[in-house]
Structure 1
Amino acid sequence: MLKPKIHPFIPIIIGVISISLSAIFVKLAQADSGVIAFYRLLFSVLIMSPLFFYKHTQELKDLTKRDWIFSSIAGIFLAFHFILWFESLRYTSVASSTVLVTLQPLFAFIGTYFFFKEKFSVKTILSGVIAIMGSVLISWGDFKVSGSALYGDLLALIACALITAYLLFGQDVRKRVSLITYTMVVYSSSTICLFFYVLIKGESFGPYSSMTWLWFLLLAIIPNLLGHTLFNWAVKWVSTNVISIAVLFEPIGAAILAYFVFAEKLVATQIIGGIIVIVGILLFVVDIRVIKKFFRKILD
């Protein structure tokens, strides 16, 4: 395989920064959570449309009824993941919310255990216990700050479970359908779901300030399309385990950005709990040799 023109870790770092900006843009947008989620996905669909209609429309004819149902359900789960995660950012800190959402791999394993009968290993149990201890420590610290912060933590955990359900429904379809087509169908069904959610809730589709429209657009371009696209490019050159490790830096990037943008300060329980959660997830997704290799490459 030819070497890439740029080192893969450069796009990976840009990708981590891109997804870390998601929580910042959400907090800056002056709109209800459902509205922010709606425009994030609507703009993503509109931006992807030219590429989709140019190269991938033929694939729609090959989708089975099962593919359509599973993709639509995945889109609904994605919609409510965004609603609850965005809402959590109104009550708890960026750091707590993003760290708790990183528990997704553990929720995924629970899902595969019940649906696909995957077995527990000693490493899985150990990493799960460590990560849960970290999340309890974060929530305990937030409860001491305020009851509403604990409520925000709970919303973030439910959002984490919903994104896991989205991935579980999608993994079957992705075995047969290209990334562009699958993403287009899921984002479209999610946008439709969010449209009716906003309508039923009586939330406003507009007007908004020019800056809020900018945050909507940037949410679609940077975290949705740029961040994940860069990860998809990098996976050609590096292991998926490396991407898994890199994504765990999102809470760190988000917390740093929140400090400078919103002057959000971290308390000791958030720092310690966040570190414990990330260590637990690291132990879950990869083995120690891969972690050593990852940091060795960074230092080289």
Structure 2
Amino acid sequence: MEKPTIHPYIPILIGVISVAMSAIFVKMTTADAGVTAFYRMLFSILLMSPVFLYSYLPEIKKLNRRDWVFSAIAGIFLAFHFILWFESLNYTSVASSTVLVTLQPLFAFAGTYFFFKERLSAKTLISGIVAITGSVVIAYGDFQVSGSALFGDILALIACALITAYLLFGQDVRKRLSLVTYTFIVYGFSTVTLFFYIIAKGESFGPYPKEEWMWFLLLALIPNLLGHTLFNWAVKWVSTNVISIAILFEPVGAAILAYFILGEMVSKSQIAGGSIVIAGLLFFVTDYKRIRKIFFRKSS
């Protein structure tokens, strides 16, 4: 078996920290949610352009009319996912928001059940009940704090549903395209959607202070390009389950970063609810029959 130059768990750890930084950067901005999302996607597109144009442009020919439509819908869902998630951070804490957005695997199974008639196993149902119980604990605790915190939780849950819809519409197109080409196209549609959203809302494209532009650029560089690129590199060497489990600890990393950088305290209900959610999702993604093979697998 080919040996990686660096232990895969190191890039995975860096990847988790990278995606966890997303909520921190959003909290640091003063721009509207739509504007922040727009510049995150725009800078991602600009940074990807040289690689895409040089090596992947011919892949565009593989797309048919249905692919373009599905890619556009996926981009629209992604845009509104960012709008609602970023907006949720204006009302609730980093800990609550990131935990609730992490419920995406359960929304995915609900979507495949209703739209593709896939059967739900007992394991999936148990995991769902446990995770939903945890989210209720978080929501109840936030409601005790303020109604606006609960409103932020609701926005985060809707954002979670939208990212699931984005994945469901894009999964068929992704089978025929490289990651770079697919990401570039969907990010492009998402950027255009956000552009018109900002115009419709009458929000400002600028000017902004230098610090604001720095946060926009860091959002594109670290969570978007660095974090997900590291996950995609690591999946060659480790089981996909490892990546899935690692991503579940994004809320933990985000909460710790928010404590040290933003001074956000974590309440008992957030700790309890977050722990229940993560436990439910861990049970969901863990394949016990292959637990001994979870560390390394042969590269193809």
- Which residue in 2 is equivalent to 1:32? 32
**Alpha-carbon separation, structure 2, partners of 1:276 and 1:215:** 32
SS at match of 1:278: helix
By how many angstroms is 1:285 displaced?
1.5
User: The residue matched to 1:56 in structure 2 has which SS?
Assistant: helix
Q: Contact 2:73–2:166 at 8 Å: present in 1 too?
A: yes
SS class of match (2:68): helix
Aligned equivalents of 1:294 and 1:148: distance in 2? Answer: 41
Structure 2 partner of 1:18: 18
Letter in 1 for 2:264: E
Counterpart in the other structure of 1:260: 260
In percent, how many aligned pairs have the same letter? 72
| 1:294–1:255 distance in 2 versus 1, CA, 3 Å | farther
- TM-score, normalised by the number of residues in structure 1: 0.96
> Is the Cα contact below 8 Å between 1:97 and 1:152 reproduced in 2?
yes
Residue by residue, what CA displacement relative to the aligned partner does 1:12-50 show, whole Å, maximum 9, x if unpaired?
A: 000000000000000101100000000000000000000
The alignment partner of 1:4 has SS state of coil
Cα distance in structure 1, aligned partners of 2:149 and 2:295: 34
State yes or no: 1:123 paired with 2:150: no
* Partner AA of 1:122 in structure 2: A
Residue equivalent to 2:70: 70
Where do 4+ consecutive residues of structure 1 move more than 2 Å?
Answer: 287-296
Going from structure 1 to structure 2, the CA distance change for 1:267 and 1:291 (only over 3 Å counts) comes to farther
In 2, Cα distance between equivalents of 1:180 and 1:64: 18
Flag the 1:128–1:61 CA change in 2: closer, same or farther, 3 A: same
The answer for unaligned runs of 5 or more in structure 1 is: none
**What are the within-5 Å matches in structure 2 for residues 1-300 of structure 1?**
1-288=1-288
- 1:293 and 1:19 mapped to 2: Cα distance? 26
Q: Kindly tell me the number of residue pairs found equivalent between the two proteins.
A: 296
The question of whether the paired residues in 2 share the 8 Å contact of 1:241 and 1:290 is answered with: no
Residue by residue, what CA displacement relative to the aligned partner does 1:52-90 show, whole Å, maximum 9, x if unpaired?
A: 000111111221001100001000000000000000000
Contact 2:239 2:293 in 1 (8 A): no
Measure the CA separation in 1 of the matches of 2:53 and 2:206.
28
Q: Distance in 2 between matches of 1:37 and 1:291?
A: 38
- Code of the residue aligned with 2:26 in structure 1: it is V
Q: Give me the whole-angstrom Cα distance separating, in 1, the residues matched to 2:213 and 2:247.
A: 27
Q: State the secondary structure of the residue aligned to 1:177.
A: coil
Does the CA-based 8 Å contact 2:239-2:295 persist in structure 1? Answer: no
Question: How big is the alpha-carbon RMSD for the aligned residues of Structure 1 and Structure 2?
Answer: 1.3
